[in-house]
Structure formats: C-alpha cells, structure tokens
Amino acid sequence: MKHTTSLLASLVLLPLAAFAASPFDGTWKTDYKSGHIIKNAEWGWEFKDGKYRCTKTCYEHMDEVATDGKDHPITNHTVSDHLAVDLQGDSTAVLTYKKGKTVVVKCTLAANADGTRLTQTCTDYTGTKPVENSSTLKRVGKAEPGVHKASGVWTAEDGTWTGTDVTMTLMATADGIKITQNGVVIDAKFDGKEYPSQNDPSHQTNLFRKVSDREIEWQQKLRGKPFGVDVLVVNPDGQSILDTYTGLLDDTKNSVVLRKTH
C-alpha cells in the first residue's frame, strides 16, 4: 500500500510540475520612458525636385515617388503597394502607405523651425486597433540649402520615444511560448524552427530559443531574411521584463522595459 500511495502521489505531482507557471506568463505593457538607445544608426531621405526618395539605410522600398499627395505604386514593401507623399509647407511631410485602397501605415515627419530636429510619428493600422509611435530625430551634418526641411540624414535622440499603450500577453511552457498582441498571435516551440505570426499582413516568421527559465531569444524574419532579434529577460521580482532588441538591417540596438499589468 505504501508503494501504491507513493506512485499515486507522483502521478499527481508530475502534471503540476509540468504546468507550473512560467515567469513569462502574464500581460505586459511597454514602459516607453525606459527606452534606451544602445547603438544608433543614421537614416536619410529627401524631398526634392517634386520627388521623395530614400538616401540612406533603405531596407524597404527604394522607389522615387512624386510629392503630389496622390497614390503611387511602390515595390518591395512588406505591407503596402502604394504610397502617397504630401508636403505640408516647408517643414512637414506626410507619407501614407496603402494596401489597395486601405491605409496600413501613416507617418508624419515634422521638422522644427531651424531644421535641426525632426519629430517622426507613425501610426500602424494593421492590428486590431491603431498603434502610434513617436520619436525625435536630430540632424546629422548640415541641411542642404533650399530643400524641404524634413530632408536630410537623421539619427534617433535617446529618451524621446512615446507610443500607444498596447499590451502583450505571454504564456510559456517548458517547450514553447504563445504571444498575443493587438490581434497578432504567435504560437511557437523552442526548437529553432520558423513559426508564422498569425493575422500579420507582413507574414513575419519567428524562431525562439530558451536560454533559461527567465531568458528567451526571439528572432524575426521577413521574406526569409532575418531582420531583428529580441532578448527577453524576466526580472527576479517577476514584475518586469528587459527587452533588448538588435536590428539586423540597420545595425541598431536598443532596450525597453515591459511592466506586468496582471
């Protein structure tokens, strides 16, 4: 009887251990004020001679587009096939990306009076609800005389990132993780294989590696090409996650803290 009791106890305890809560489990929100640039990059574009063109760090489309506010076809963009560029005065440009007739992303680039700073505000409409992100860029070098003030080469200014509060729900097991954020769902194993982002118009794929019970490495790909890696580390108190992101296409690195909401 003693043996039977021990066997029954072990059978009860095994499932409990198998389904023990992971430190990653819960709902998390980005603390934008904690954002920190570890390694910066430079991005360049110009609005000149009635055309918009990317001039530096161009990993999306590189088409020239007329700055007439009308929709123009573009190639090699992950979520859109048309772009309208509208110049509003000599310091603001609005770029509206569409898939067919549907707006998917809208960005406003607004330079300050002396053209040394630029506020970049982008709204992504591809999820369940629109998500806005904004940051300040500072000019690299001198502005070209006589061109639109939003033109030039720019680099991000630390501590200026703000955005819409969008929560991310994580549920991890011993061999995998499920991520839900703004309608996009990723259900993956820690096996190094690619798993799709469901409901994601960019068709991003994801690979996960479990470093430890409190650390996960998450690589993202677009069109089969790696473009970014997040390393998520849960704080010992279990109330925050340090998310360190490395951009593989623009050679950037930054970090932000995710706070647990419940």
pLDDT in tens, 111-162: 999 999 999 999 999 999 999 999 999 999 999 999 999 999 999 999 999 9
- Provide the number of structural domains found in the chain: 2
How far is 151 from 133, CA to CA, in rounded Å? 20
- Closest alpha carbon to 170 in 235, 220, 216: 216
Confidence check: pLDDT of 11 > 90: no
Residue 5 pLDDT level (bands cut at 50, 70, 90): very low
Confidence check: pLDDT of 34 > 50: yes
Q: Are residues 28 and 109 in the same domain?
A: no
CATH number of the domain at 237, please.
2.40.128.20
CATH number of the domain at 106, please.
2.40.128
How far is 179 from 172, CA to CA, in rounded Å? 9
| 16 part of a folded domain | no
Answer whether 167's CB lies under 8 Å from 184's CB. Answer: no
Among 163, 187, 207, identify where a domain stops.
163
Residue 179 pLDDT level (bands cut at 50, 70, 90): very high
| 231 part of a folded domain | yes
CA Rg value for the chain: 22
How far is 38 from 255, CA to CA, in rounded Å? 7
| Largest Cα span, the chain | 92
Q: Are residues 75 and 156 in the same domain?
A: yes
Residue 59 pLDDT level (bands cut at 50, 70, 90): confident
Q: Are residues 225 and 187 in the same domain?
A: yes
Residue 106 pLDDT level (bands cut at 50, 70, 90): very high
| 113 part of a folded domain | yes
| 91 part of a folded domain | yes
| 70 part of a folded domain | yes
Provide the pLDDT for residue 61: 64
Residue 201 in 3-state DSSP? coil
Confidence check: pLDDT of 12 > 70: no
| 181 part of a folded domain | yes
Query: 226-245 burial string, b = 16+ CB within 10 Å, else e?
Result: ebbbbbbbbeeeeebbebeb
Confidence check: pLDDT of 1 > 50: no
Answer whether 56's CB lies under 8 Å from 43's CB. Answer: yes
Q: Are residues 86 and 112 in the same domain?
A: yes
Of 13-22, 106-115, 208-217, the least confident? 13-22
130: containing domain: 43-163
| 1 part of a folded domain | no
Q: What is the DSSP letter of 100?
A: T
Task: Count Cα neighbours of 199 within 13 Å in the Cβ-side half-sphere.
Answer: 14
Q: Are residues 187 and 215 in the same domain?
A: yes
Q: Are residues 204 and 187 in the same domain?
A: yes
Among 163, 193, 218, identify where a domain stops.
163
| 14 part of a folded domain | no
Residue 10 pLDDT level (bands cut at 50, 70, 90): very low
Provide the pLDDT for residue 14: 43
Q: Are residues 84 and 175 in the same domain?
A: no
Q: Are residues 47 and 130 in the same domain?
A: yes
Among 141, 163, 185, identify where a domain stops.
163
Q: Are residues 149 and 172 in the same domain?
A: no
Q: Are residues 115 and 71 in the same domain?
A: yes
Q: Are residues 33 and 58 in the same domain?
A: no
Answer whether 158's CB lies under 8 Å from 36's CB. Answer: yes
Q: Which residues, in sequence order, are CB contacts of 205 under 8 Å at separation 6+?
A: 194, 195, 196, 197, 220, 221, 222, 224
Q: Are residues 148 and 193 in the same domain?
A: no
Report the DSSP pairing between strands 131-139 and 117-124: antiparallel
